Chain A
Amino acid sequence: MADNHTHTEHLDSETGKLGMWIFLFTELFLFGGLFLVYAIFRAKYSADFHIAAGELNAFVGTMNTVFLLVSSMTAAMALTAVQKGDRRLTIFLLLITILLAALFMVNKYFEWSHKFEYGIWPGSPVLKNMSHGELLFFGLYYMMTGLHALHVLIGMILLSINVVKVKTGAVNSERFLMLENSALYWHLVDLIWIFLFPLLYLIT
C-alpha cells in the first residue's frame, strides 16, 4: 500500500515560510482585536483612560522598546550569520537576543510588581473601587502586556532551541528555515510592541 519514496527528506523552505506568515496573520488579528477593544473604550472613556495611563512609567516602556528593537536587529543578524555559514557568530547573536528578551522580562517584572504594590492587579479591591474606564484600562493593560510577555517567553524558548540546533549543525547555511521562521516570530513580538508602547505608555 505504501510506496517506497526514494527521497524521504524534503524541505520546501518557501512553503514553510508561507505557513509561518499565515500563522503570523492570525497573531496579528489576535492582538488586533485587543487593539480594537482598546480603541473603542478609549474613545468612550477618554477622561478615565487619561488618568489611568498616567500611572504607567513611560521610561520603563521606552527602555523595553529599545531592548526589543536591538534584539530584533540581532535576530535579523543571526539569520545573516547562519546564511554566511558563521556558526559561532550565529550562536553569539542568538544569545544576545535571548539576553535582551530576558532584560525585557525583568523590566516587566518590576513594572508589574510596582503596580501590585499599589494594589493594582486584575480583580484587586483597589481596582474595583476605581471608575469603570480606569478598570477597563488596567484590564486591557494586563491582558495586552501579559499576552505580549507570553509571546516574549515563547520567543525565548524558540531562540534557545535554535542555539542548540545551530550547535549540533541541524540548522546550517543550507538549512536554516527554522531559524528564519523563529526570527520572523521574534520580529512579530517586536512589531506588536511598537504599537503597544505608544498606545499604553505615551498617549495619555
Chain B
Amino acid sequence: MNHEEKHISTYQSLVIVLVILLFLTTISVLVTGFHLGALTVAVALLIASIKVFIVLTRFMHLKFENRFLRLAVAGVFVLFALVTVITFIDYFFR
C-alpha cells in the first residue's frame, strides 16, 4: 500500500541539477590545475563528495525516499569511511 503520493522529479529540476554538477566539475578541473599538493587532493575529493551527494539525493531520489532507506545509504558510506580510516591506521602504525 502506498501511503504517500509518489514524487515525480520535474524536467526543469533535473536540468538545474545537471548544471550544478557540470559547474562543480569545472571547478574541480580548474582547481587541480594549480598544483597545491595535499590541498588539491582535499579539494578534489571534497567536490567529488558534494557531487556524489547531489546525484544520490536528486538523480537517485533519496531526498524523497523513506527514512529507512536514507539511513541505510548513509550507514554504508559511514561504514566505508570507517574501513578506510582503520586500514590507514593499521598501515601507518603497524
List the B residue with the shortest CB-CB distance to A192: B52
A191-B55 in contact (CB<8A): yes
Known interface pairs A77-B14, A80-B9, A83-B6; A18-B44 also in contact (CB < 8 Å): no
Chain B residues whose C-beta falls within 8 Å of the C-beta of A58 in the assembled complex: 29
B72-A72 in contact (CB<8A): no
A203-B87 in contact (CB<8A): no
> Pick the contact of B10 from A21, A70, A80 — CB < 8 Å?
A80
Query: What's the Cα separation between A73 and B14 when bound, in Å?
Result: 6
- The minimal Cβ–Cβ distance linking B82 to chain A, given in whole angstroms, is 11
B87-A40 in contact (CB<8A): yes
Pairs across A and B, CB under 8 Å, 13 listed: A21-B69, A21-B72, A69-B25, A73-B15, A79-B9, A183-B59, A187-B55, A194-B48, A194-B55, A198-B28, A198-B48, A202-B28, A203-B32
A-B pair number, CB within 8 angstroms: 95
Q: Contacts A62-B25, A69-B25, A80-B10 known; list 12 others, CB within 8 Å.
A: A17-B69, A21-B69, A21-B72, A25-B72, A25-B76, A29-B76, A36-B84, A83-B6, A194-B51, A195-B52, A197-B48, A198-B32
Which residues 15-52 of B have a CB within 8 angstroms of A? 15, 17-18, 21-22, 25, 28-29, 32, 35, 40-41, 44-45, 47-48, 51-52
What mask results when residues 67 to 79 of chain A are scored 1 for a CB within 8 Å of chain B, else 0?
A: 0011011011101
Which residues 67-122 of A have a CB within 8 angstroms of B? 69-70, 72-73, 75-77, 79-80, 83-84
Query: How many residues of B sit at the interface, in one of the four size bands?
Result: 35 or more
B32-A202 in contact (CB<8A): yes
Query: What's the Cα separation between A135 and B28 when bound, in Å?
Result: 27
> Which A residues have a C-beta under 8 Å from some C-beta of B?
17-18, 21, 25, 28-29, 32, 36, 39-40, 43, 58, 62, 65-66, 69-70, 72-73, 75-77, 79-80, 83-84, 183-184, 187, 190-191, 194-195, 197-199, 202-204
List the B residue with the shortest CB-CB distance to A62: B29
B93 CB within 8 Å of chain A: no
B78 CB within 8 Å of chain A: no
A32-B83 in contact (CB<8A): yes
List the A residue with the shortest CB-CB distance to B29: A62
Chain A residues whose C-beta falls within 8 Å of the C-beta of B17 in the assembled complex: 73, 76
Query: What's the Cα separation between A190 and B17 when bound, in Å?
Result: 14
Known interface pairs A21-B72, A76-B59, A198-B45; A69-B22 also in contact (CB < 8 Å): yes
Known interface pairs A80-B8, A187-B60, A202-B29; A73-B48 also in contact (CB < 8 Å): no
A198-B60 in contact (CB<8A): no
- The minimal Cβ–Cβ distance linking B24 to chain A, given in whole angstroms, is 9
Chain B residues whose C-beta falls within 8 Å of the C-beta of A76 in the assembled complex: 9, 14, 17, 58-59
Query: What's the Cα separation between A190 and B29 when bound, in Å?
Result: 17
List the A residue with the shortest CB-CB distance to B91: A40
